Structure 1
Amino acid sequence: MLRHTPPPRRFAPALLALAAVLALAVPTARAAWPALSALRPTGGQRGTELDVTLSGARLGDAKEIIWYQPGISVLSITKLDDNSVKARLKIAPDAAVGLHDLRLRTATGISELRTFSVGALKEAAEAEPNNDFDKPQPIALNTTVSGVAGNEDVDYYVVEAKKGDRLSAEVEGLRLGITTFDPYVAILNAKRFELASSDDPALTWQDGFASILVPEDGKYIVQVRESAYAGNDSCLYRLHVGNFPRCTAVFPPGGKLGEKVTVRWIGDPAGEATSEVTLPASPVANFGLTRQDAKGISPYPNLFRLSPLANAIEAEPNDGQDKATPITPPVAANGIIEKPGDVDHFAFKGKKGQTYDFRLFGRQLRSPLDSVMYLGKKGAGAAVGDDDALAPDSFFRFTCPEDAEYWFSIQDQLKKGGPDYVYRVEVTPVEPKVAMSTNVEYVTLGTGPMAAAVPRGNRQGMLLIGSRADLGGDLALAIRDLPPGVSVEAPVLAASQAVVPILFTAKADAPLGGSLASVDGMPADGKTKVPSTFGSQAAPVLGQNNVIVWSRTVPSLSVNVTEECPYSIEVIEPKVPLVRNGSMGLRIKATRKPGFKAPISVYLPWNPPGVGSGGGIVIPEGKDEAVIPLNADGGAELRTWKILVQGDSGVASGPIRVSSQLANLTVASPYVGLEFQAASVEQGKEADMAVKVAKLADFPGEASVTLLGLPNKVTTDAKTITKDSKDLVFRLKTDKASPAGNHASLFCQVVVTLNGEPIVHNIGTGALRIDVPLPPKPAAPAPAVAAAPPQPPPAAAAAKPLSRLEKLRLESKQKLAGAGGK
């Protein structure tokens, strides 16, 4: 799906730096987290068996391919070398066409999500050279060709076709999830006249498809290339060529769970068709309908929306308020913007205070419609409207201001239209929902798999994200269908939070293997039931600025048991709280198996709100402990939180990871508050700084108070206080070289000791002004004496100031005189 999500923290950040050390640190080689980068071929025909090579890194001990959809079984896995294996696959005759999601489980890890394409046609390989129009590669009709679009490469294939037959060509390129491939496909006649071409249709993302009715018997050329002639060796494709149907839309584009629905297939050159479909009784991820007729089956499904809502179908003409199609919410209104400039209207009766959500599905179902939706009271203009709240589909919420009849309309932003501009507007009362997910698995950014690989006798933690709609309060999590011997600890997801750590633990004798677990979120009070969904998105193809170009979302969580790990880690749980504006050292202890001495990188993958943790912390080679610094800001949420620490290390063959237990970390209010009185002093002198003390909670004994942040060459002594202290005074001593100016970053570190552990407060701020001493004042003149007869003789003239030479001579005489007197 086309969606942008900012990249999360990278997986195992310290492992690359440790790799050279790890190769020497472990006495015997072990496998580690596998990296699956390629499957060749990228797909196969259903109803057949074939060999597929899986390659990447650390795959030599592969044990199982885990499929998210049914229809493919693995007959055998054979090691080729440490970085590749060969799997013998059996594809069921009724396997769904399109993409099947998979992960490769090795003895010690689980791979990234990859896909394998299942088709209905016999398979062939591209045979170079085939880049000359006059010398195309011959292929039989109804063939799937695996090829590569290189730089400035144009591949040509020729087929024989009969007049009046359908000829379709569809290329899977971007959808294979390998690279940012923008394929172009065209059908030409033998005279090089282009009969149909396709570059970026909405239906198939950036991949192209073309379909024609053959005008006359003869040879027809199918051309495939990168749209800008800028392909490369990674631009692999699967080209489906045959007389299969290829419809541009299905209508209605959605239906009610468990019901039979008659759908109309639109856009096939052989004409429209209808079929009756029984829909699944429960939601199915990535659900689609696939057109099939006597000639064949489409190579990829048309997406189809499943919901609990009944369908309402537009009745033309409905291009104005007075002709609006009536509906009764809750309902799904389905229609088509059939021609340029078309505007569809629906009408419903609303009562004062009723609130409805209007959610349009267009581009989400791969319709070319770029929707704009408006709503208003019958006979009046629009009261609300939206273009692309759902990027690019429309959404708004409306509360009826009075009992009245209301209308809403749908049109294309650019006034475009056509027979395949289908849409579906679900009109529902506001109701709470929960959507659970993992972080996005950015394959090329090294985030690692969003799946759990739990070593026997050890632990593996990961983060889950909870999104609430119209719902508050804490969420309880339910994770089911775990492998035998695996348990999960899932703390409550706090009302203020969207992320929570969970922890899987495997027994020492748990069987090696895996399962796909379900994940649900529900109000923790147990009183309310709400719909809950889960999805884990993997994004193998990114564009500029790491925008997601192609991704797949699977509806379950892969949880696996792997071989034991040579170490485990544990949080030494604090016996005291971390206070607001305080700090703490979180001790981490490692238990190593004999012979394992490698360094272990430790970190918190998630911090409680308002809490920060230090990065780059490593338990050194051969050591057993490290301390992760924690701090809390003044707004940290007061609560006892569950935290875990990840421990990443490695062996000669790659990275491994374990987790600590879920430990309690209590964030509390400070025990004391301080109010600083501003102080000032001249350089070289002393002054007092008074601090008022306010007890906020009782504490035993004395607490130390250290004034920190003092300027250079300013000193003072530490103090102590008790719970009864009201004030304290710091005597500040300055130096003549202490920097003059206003120093406003002073703070006190108050350490309260409880249960033998420190509770560190960092309380500020105080200000100290250091002044430069004033220069000495000049001597004051003698007071004037009143004149009295007789007048005294005139005062003697002031002595002439001595020159520098005279001063030196005088000083020399005085020294000689002084020496002679001794």
Structure 2
Amino acid sequence: MRKHRLFFIAAILFGGPRAVLGGAPSIERFFPAGGKRGTEFTLNVVGAGFERASEILFYSPGVECLALKPTGDNELEIRLKSREDAAIGPYAFRLRNPQGLSELHTVLLTNQPVEPESEPNDEVSKANEKSRNLTWAGVLENGDVDCYAITLKKGERLAAEVASVRSGSVLLDTSIRVFSPDGALIGSVDDTPLFYQDPFITLIAPQDGRYVVEVQGTNRDGDDNSRYLLSLGDFPRPAAVYPAGGQAGMTVKVQFRGDAAGDFEQSFALPESPAPGFGLIASRDGREAPSASPFRVSPFPNVLEEIRGPSPAQLPAAFNGVLSTMGEADTFEFNVSNREPIQFESFAYRIGSPIDTVIAILDGEGETLISNDDDGSHDSRLVFVPPAPGKYSLEIRDKRRAGRPDFIYRVEATRLQPQLTAFVSRPERLSQERQTVAVPRGNRIMTTFAVQRRHFKGDVQLSTSGGPQGVLFSEARIDADRYWTPTIVEASKDAPLNAMLIDVLASGNDGDRSVQGKFQQVVDLIAGSADALFQSAVVDRLAVVVIEPVPFHVDLLQPEAPVAKDGTLDLQLKLTREPGFTGSVEVVIPFLPPWVDGPSEVVIKPGETMAVYRLRAHPKAAVREWTICAEAMAGGRSGRRAESALPGANDPLPVAPPPEVAVASELVKLTVGSSPVAGKLEEVVTEQGAAVSVSCSIEAHGQLPETMTAELEGLPNRVTASPVAIARGEGRVQFELHLAPDAPVGVFPDLVVRLTGTLNGESVSYCVGRSGTLRVEPRGGLFRDESGRALSRLEVLQRATAGPKSEGK
């Protein structure tokens, strides 16, 4: 690990964005990646927004914060304490200051003492060595190699395991090499099915002496954030567990496989309601593995391939087996008593097995009725609708027809049940943007609740419980044809600056049954190219924080008129400023109905309090009532500082809100309606330099402004028509069209008449006569027939070749 302080040099020279602007805390990196359970340990954190850091918010019990000691705004020391009975593995947390919460990070708990590496250790001869069963904390910078030693006797087990990607920092793809006491390379590992980019190795020492384990990045790249934990000792480190799951609340005996000292059995009492990421810790001869083996816990019994009864299985059930030989395919018989749909879902890749499963349902004659390969991963899933009651078979095989003793699978078969899962939608993938709710005291913000429906098609009601004092959520209902809805969160003026994790419940009715679901958010930690996600954290509650006030409020006034299809509506925006705040504010409408658009933002300039946001509804917009709101941010969404004047030596500081805090208006109803007026624009044929009248019929179908201004749009350059006033009830509007001598020649098919007026106090417009056509001929090139109809160029040519020419203009 080479230590650099470039971040702090930049902060000193340039101030850093957060040093000038403040804002929610942001953690760039911390070291070490974890600590031993049952102990106190310290994290040294680099980032921004630490000077007023006040709290660590953990998503699960087992770890607590004892102290936060900032050194300026960019360095922080966090003192943590974990319980003796805390589960080993990752613990998700956020850091809070008065202006918000940090991104989600994870700290790892291990069952071994954690020791920081000691540089230099980039050569075998300089390898760090201490006691056995120790977890080394290191950092691999560009081109770095770290070496660690352990002394063993012949026949003892050597086990080494890296946790890097699992620490949730960066995509550090590591590899391990093991050297014997005489310097020979006796083992190397890169990726593994169990932990993917995090390697592990287990072997039996062939001789007495000092063994060296070398850790490096596979691409030899890295930086200050490329941290890892290396657990090194004589502990068990199995590669697989069989069966791969068990029934909730029961005791299950499993076999751990793939350890160098041989396979072994162990019994576990399974929880009634396991937490996300549940796993089993292998233990042997008083030693524990440093991390868990993934393990499914389900509410139905196991069916094991080696212990199958004489009768077909009854569903629901979990089918467990091993494809131990090349080309092997396992089958399980099961009975169905009706034609209700059944879901079969395999678990292999997701629990560390190398199998790429293919599952199929066979009838009594062995014919395939339905099959599936991948379903979002290498694991399979299908829904089988039995053609009739009776006996069927489930078949499982590897797509490549491969097989090994660690090709373990589990297929869970259940009756289809409606399921609801609530979450917070995000503006872009592989991002933590808008994954928390930060509401300024005395103000409002907008968040978007969403729901994932499985085998459910109805409306969904969302409710929250357990929020900070003084915080209220608006009603959240998601219609059957939508998957998300905006929700306004408001904090009272006296709400304490505080953060809490709240529960979000989704509920709906499926016929006469009530369906309920909980909150589950997948938080992206490490992303790769092409939308690849290498590490994430799953949390079951939403983080809500009350932050310091923002010196303005925004209101979107309730529109009293609908926006008509193929028309516009001017929305009124109102900004209420606190004394002392005079800067500019950027206002956006964060979401609009399909086929309705508007400007990307509207800027309310310094000192101003009102603005107009013009909506445009395209002809394809659906006639419907929608809910919208406005969001406002000081200086703009790029994080610019509000444009208030810099103070003099004796002037009070200007009110400057934190950057990237968008406050919201209340939700208002927006109606997209059918156009109340129609019209037909006559075709216009003329020539350069001419003046001609253009007429459009007007037919009212609904309420219109008392007076309107008609404008002819879509004209080419150097062709003009003055606006015309028109009163409600008039059936026609006429324009005088003037063409310059050099007006462009050709056919212009996009003429349209726009009628603009005031309805219910709001500016509206409607388009009629769309697709009107203007044909411009060269000067002297326009010909008409005896009735005065303009001739096309083809007709002119035909008349010229057939006989007397038509008379000119």
- The TM-score normalised by the length of structure 2 is 0.86
Would the alpha carbon gap of residues 776 and 627 (structure 1) be closer, same or farther in structure 2, given more than 3 Å must change? closer
User: In the TM superposition, what is the alpha-carbon distance from 1:729 to its structure 2 partner?
Assistant: 4.3
What is the distance in 2 between the residues matched to 1:147 and 1:536? 30
Contact 2:463–2:476 (Cα < 8 Å) also in 1: no
Higher mean displacement: 201-210 or 165-174: 165-174
Match of 1:591 among 566, 570, 576: 576
1:450 equivalent among 435, 453, 466: 435
**Which residue in 1 is equivalent to 2:798?**
none
Tell me how far apart the structure 2 counterparts of residues 374 and 659 of structure 1 sit (CA, whole Å). 51
Counterpart of 2:765 in structure 1: which amino acid?
A: V
Partner residue, 1:747 = 752
Distance 2:113 2:351 in 1: 29
* Cα separation, 2, equivalents of 1:341 and 1:268: 25
In the alignment, the residues of structure 1 paired with residue 377 and residue 211 of structure 2 have an alpha-carbon distance, to the nearest angstrom, of 39
Match of 2:409 among 405, 409, 423: 423
The one-letter code of the counterpart of 2:148 is: Y
Residue 387 (structure 1) shift: 1.5
Please name the residue that 1:613 is paired with: 598
In the alignment, does 2:528 pair up with 1:543?
yes
Q: Residue 793 of structure 2 corresponds to which residue in structure 1?
A: none
Q: Runs of 5+ in structure 1 lacking a partner?
A: 1-18, 778-822
Q: Which moved more, 1:625-634 or 1:135-144?
A: 625-634
Return the alpha-carbon distance in structure 2 between the equivalents of residues 776 and 330 of structure 1. 82
CA distance in structure 2 between the aligned counterparts of 1:81 and 1:441, rounded to whole angstroms: 33
**Aligned ranges 1:1-16 → 2 under 5 Å:** none
Give 1:81 shift: 0.6
Cα 1:336/1:581, change in 2 over 3 Å: farther
Alignment partner of 1:482 out of 445, 464, 467: 467
Please tell me the residue identity of whatever aligns with 2:616: N
1:89 aligns with 2:75: no
Q: Is residue 2:121 matched to residue 1:121?
A: no
Map 1:405-416 onto structure 2 (within 5 A).
405-416=391-402
Q: Are residues 494 and 579 of structure 1, via their aligned partners in 2, closer, same or farther at CA, if it must alter by over 3 Å?
A: farther
Change (3 A) 1:598 1:493: same
Distance 1:500 1:101 in 2: 27
Q: Deviation of residue 755 (structure 1)?
A: 1.5
Using the alignment, how far apart are the partners of 1:135 and 1:20 within structure 2? 39
Q: Is the 8 A contact 2:312 2:391 kept in 1?
A: no
SS in 1 for 2:203: strand
Q: Paired residue for 1:789?
A: none
Deviation sequence 1:210-232 (CA, Å, 0-9, x none): 11233444322212111233344
> Is 1:578 aligned with 2:563?
yes
Mapped contact 1:110–1:449 kept (Cα < 8 A): no
Whole-angstrom distance in 2 between the partners of 1:618 and 1:68 = 39
Q: Determine whether 1:355 maps to 2:355.
A: no
Give yes or no for contact 2:204–2:261 (8 Å, CA) kept in 1: yes
When structure 1 is superposed on structure 2, of 270-279 and 332-341 the one drifting more is: 270-279
Separation in structure 2 between the aligned mates of residue 159 and residue 465 of structure 1, nearest angstrom: 51
For residue 370 of structure 2, what is the aligned residue in structure 1? 384
Q: Does 2:554 correspond to 1:569?
A: yes
SS of 1:47 mapped into structure 2: coil
Amino acid at match of 1:411: R
Which residue of structure 2 lines up, in the alignment, with residue 768 of structure 1? 774
Partner residue of 1:145 out of 136, 144, 161? 136
Residues 775 and 172 of structure 1: is their aligned pair in 2 closer, same or farther, counting only changes over 3 Å? closer
Deviation for aligned residue 1:721: 5.8
Aligned to 1:112: 103
Q: Which of 682, 685, 688 lines up with 1:683 in the alignment? A: 688
Q: Kindly indicate whether the alpha-carbon contact (under 8 Å) linking 1:113 and 1:449 is maintained by their aligned counterparts in 2.
A: no
**More deviation in 591-600 or 107-116?**
591-600
Tell me the distance in 2 between the aligned counterparts of 1:370 and 1:270. 28
2:215 maps to which of 206, 217, 224: 224
Say whether the 8 Å CA contact 1:324–1:346 is kept in structure 2: no
Match of 1:656 among 661, 668, 679: 661
Closer, same or farther: CA 44–148 of 1 in aligned 2, 3 Å = same
Q: Does the 8 A contact of 2:32 with 2:227 survive in 1?
A: no
1:505-546 deviation digits (Å, cap 9, x = unpaired): 111111221111122322279954235243223323222245
- The 2-side partners of 1:37 and 1:459 are apart by 29
Provide the residue aligned with 2:151 in structure 1.
160
The answer to whether the 8 A contact 2:159-2:202 is kept is: yes
The one-letter code matched in structure 1 to 2:568 is S
Q: Is the 8 A contact 1:51 1:87 kept in 2?
A: yes
Q: Which structure has the greater CA radius of gyration?
A: 1
Q: Distance in 2 between matches of 1:325 and 1:219?
A: 56
**Which residue number corresponds to residue 170 of structure 1?**
161
RMSD: 3.0
Residue number in structure 2 paired with 1:646: 631
Q: 1:719 to 1:180 in 2, by over 3 A?
A: same
Q: Which one-letter code corresponds to 1:590 in the other structure?
A: L
Q: Give the residue type in structure 1 aligned to 2:262.
A: G
Amino acid at match of 1:631: R
* Pairs within 5 Å for 1:279-358: 279-282=270-273, 284-315=275-306, 326-350=312-336, 353-358=339-344
Question: Secondary structure at the residue paired with 2:621?
Answer: coil
Match of 2:804 in 1: none
How far apart, CA to CA, are the structure 1 residues paired with 2:68 and 2:444?
Answer: 28
Provide, for residues 7-59 of structure 1, a one-character-per-residue CA deviation record: whole Å limited to 9, x for no partner.
xxxxxxxxxxxx99999xxxx98742221212222211111112222321122
CA distance in 2, matches of 1:206, 1:598: 49
CA positional deviation for 1:703 = 4.2
Residues 622 and 729 of structure 1: CA distance in aligned 2, closer, same or farther (over 3 Å): closer
Amino acid at match of 2:422: M
Once the two structures are TM-superposed, the CA of residue 169 in structure 1 deviates from its matched residue by: 0.8
Determine the C-alpha separation between the residues in 1 that align with 2:478 and 2:463. Answer: 11
2:426 and 2:434 in contact (8 A); partners too: no
**TM superposition shift of 1:406:** 2.3
- Residue 515 of structure 2 aligns to a residue whose secondary structure is coil
Deviation at 1:70, TM superposition (A): 0.9
SS of the aligned residue for 1:570 comes to strand
Q: CA deviation at 1:325?
A: 8.6
Assess if the C-alpha contact under 8 Å between 1:34 and 1:106 holds in 2.
yes
Q: Deviations over 1:154-177 (max 9, x none)?
A: 222111223443321101111222
Distance 1:41 1:684 in 2: 80
Contact 1:683 1:735 in 2 (8 A): yes
Question: Which 5+ residue runs of structure 2 have no aligned equivalent?
Answer: 1-13, 635-640, 642-655, 784-809
User: How many pairs does the alignment contain?
Assistant: 749
The answer to whether the aligner puts 1:518 opposite 2:503 as a matched pair is yes
- CA deviations 1:282-331 (Å, max 9, x no partner) are 35222222223443322222222233333222237x9xxxx999322232
Residue 575 of structure 1 aligns with an amino acid whose one-letter code is: E
- Post-superposition Cα deviations, 1:313-352, rounded to whole Å, max 9, x if no partner, equal 2237x9xxxx999322232222222233221112223467
Residue of structure 2 equivalent to 1:434: 420
Retained in 2: the 8 A contact 1:67–1:101? yes
Q: Is the 8 A contact 1:245 1:295 kept in 2?
A: no
Contact kept, 8 Å, 1:146 with 1:239, in 2: the verdict is: yes
SS at match of 1:134: helix
How is 1:654-733 mapped onto 2 (pairs within 5 angstroms)? 654-699=659-704, 701-719=706-724, 724=729, 726-733=731-738
Separation of aligned partners in 2, 1:539 and 1:246: 28
Does residue 465 in structure 1 map to residue 456 in structure 2?
Answer: no
Answer whether contact 1:351 1:400 (CA < 8 A) is retained.
Answer: no
Q: Distance in 1 between matches of 2:658 and 2:72?
A: 13
Classify the secondary structure of the residue corresponding to 1:379: coil
TM-score by length of 1: 0.85
Which shows bigger deviation, 144-153 or 714-723?
Answer: 714-723
By how many angstroms is 1:396 displaced? 1.9
Counterpart AA for 2:747: N
Q: Distance between the aligned counterparts of 2:599 and 2:533, measured in 1?
A: 30
Residue identity over aligned pairs, in percent, reads: 31
Distance 1:727 1:468, change over 3 A: farther
Using CA pairs below 8 Å that are at least 6 residues apart, which structure has the higher relative contact order?
1
Provide closer, same or farther for how the CA distance between residues 90 and 411 of structure 1 changes in structure 2, counting only shifts above 3 A.
Answer: same
Contact 1:568 1:658 in 2 (8 A): yes
User: Counterpart in 2 of 1:810?
Assistant: none
